Amino acid sequence: MPKPFIQTFFNNYIVALIIAITTILLGISIGSQSIPFSSIWGTLIHTPTVPATDSQIIVSIRLPRVVLAFLIGAALAMAGVAFQGLLKNVLADPYTIGVSSGAAVGAVIVFFFHLYLPFLGRFTLPIVSIIFALITLLFVLLFARLAERNMAMETIVLIGIMMNAFFGSLISLMVALSGEELRQVIGWLMGSVAMRGWSYVSLFFPFFVIGSIGLFVHIRELNAFSFGEQAAASIGVHVLQRKLFILLSASLLTGAAVAVSGTIGFVGLVIPHMTRLICGANHKRLLPLSFLYGGTFLVLADLVARTIVAPRELPIGVITSFIGAPLFAILLFKSLRRKT
C-alpha cells in the first residue's frame, strides 16, 4: 500500500526542520513593524548595515518571543506524547488531564504570596509550578485508578475537567482576594508568550533540557507502555521506576512551561495526534517530530495571535484552543463510537 505523498513528505526530519526554521523567520519578520529577512540574517552575523531599530526589535523583542514560543510548544507537545503513551489515551494532554491547571495554581501562589524559596531565587516560580504539576498528576492517576481499575479514557478526562474546575476556582479566589494586583494574572492564565524577554527563556531553558532528555531516553519504554503495563513488564521494563521517570519529565516540561507562559491548552493533544497520522505511533519518530512540529505550531499560533486583530493581541491559548477543542471533540467521539 503506497503511502500518501503528504505522509511521506512530512515524515522527514529535514522537512520538519526547514518548516520550523521558516516559521521562526516568519515569526521574527512579521509584526507591527515588518522586518525583512535580510535584516534578520544581518543581525545574526552582526552586519553594521542593519538599522539599529530593526536589530533592537529582533534581539530583545521578536527573537526571545519566538524562541520561547518554540520551546513551550515543543515542551507541551512532548509532554502530550508522554501522557498519551503512558496512559494509552489519545485524549490526554497536560491541559485536558488538569496538570496545567495544577501548575498554574502553583504559579499563582508564588505571585500571591510573593514566594521566594531559599537558594532558588527566581527559579522559585518554575519549581513550585513543577511540584504542583507533579502532585496534580499523581493525584489524577491515583484517583482514576481507584475509580476504575482499567483507567478508561473518559474517566481520566472527567477527572481532568474536575481538576480544571477546582483549580480554576482556587485561582479566581486568589485573584479576587488580591484585588488589582493579580488582575494581570487573568491575561497570563489564557497563555501568552508576549513581553517575556530573554530572562523567561533562561528561566525555562534548564527545565526544558532536563525534561526533554528525560523523555528522549525513555523512547523504548514509551513504546512498551503503549502496549500496556503488563506487556511492558513482560519484556523487562521496570514499570514503576520508568513510569515515575517519565511522569517526572513530563511534569517538568509542563510545570515550567505553565510558569513562564500560562496555560496554553491542547498543544499536547493536537500535535501528537497530527504527527501520529504522519509517522505512526513509534515514539522513535513520534517524539522528535512532535518536538519540531509542536514548536512550529506554537510559533505560528503566536504569530496569528498578535496579527489577527492587530494592533491588539489575543492570548495564544485562544488560538490553540480554537484548533484543539474541536479535535478533542472528534477524538472523544471516535473513542466513544469504538466502544458501542
Of 217, 244, 308, 330, the one binding another protein (CB under 8 A) is 217
158 binds another protein (CB under 8 A): no
274 binds another protein (CB under 8 A): no
Q: Taking Cα atoms as reference points, which of 1, 6, 44, 48 lies closest to residue 24?
A: 44
Question: Between 155 and 307, whose beta carbon lies closer to another protein?
Answer: 155
Of 59, 142, 235, 336, the one binding another protein (CB under 8 A) is 235
Q: Please identify, among the stretches 57-65, 170-178, 203-211, 276-284, the one whose residues bind another protein according to the rule CB under 8 A.
A: 276-284
Give the C-alpha separation, 181 to 87, whole Å: 39
Give the C-alpha separation, 313 to 310, whole Å: 6
The least CB distance from residue 135 to another protein, in Å, is 27
Q: Taking Cα atoms as reference points, which of 290, 227, 253, 221 lies closest to residue 94?
A: 253
List, as one string, the DSSP characters of 245-303.
HHHHHHHHHHHHHHHHH----SHHHHHHHHHHHHH-S-HHHHHHHHHHHHHHHHHHHHH
Of 66, 69, 125, 224, the one binding another protein (CB under 8 A) is 224
The least CB distance from residue 161 to another protein, in Å, is 24
Question: Between 205 and 220, whose beta carbon lies closer to another protein?
Answer: 220
Q: Please identify, among the stretches 60-68, 123-131, 151-159, 273-281, the one whose residues bind another protein according to the rule CB under 8 A.
A: 273-281
233 binds another protein (CB under 8 A): yes
- What character string, x for contact with another protein (CB under 8 A) and - otherwise, covers 236-255? xxxx----------------
Question: Between 1 and 176, whose beta carbon lies closer to another protein?
Answer: 1
Give the C-alpha separation, 334 to 340, whole Å: 10
Is residue 224 within 8 A of residue 237, CB to CB? The reply is yes
Cell representation of residue 157:
478526562
CA geometry: angle 139, 143, 327, nearest 5 deg: 85
Identify residues 29-48 at the interface with another protein (CB under 8 A). Answer: none
Cell representation of residue 156:
481520566
What number of other Cβ atoms are within 10 A of residue 328's Cβ?
22
The least CB distance from residue 97 to another protein, in Å, is 19
59 binds another protein (CB under 8 A): no
Question: Between 196 and 285, whose beta carbon lies closer to another protein?
Answer: 285
Q: Which residues bind another protein (CB under 8 A)?
A: 88, 217, 220, 223-224, 226-228, 230-231, 233-239, 276, 280-282
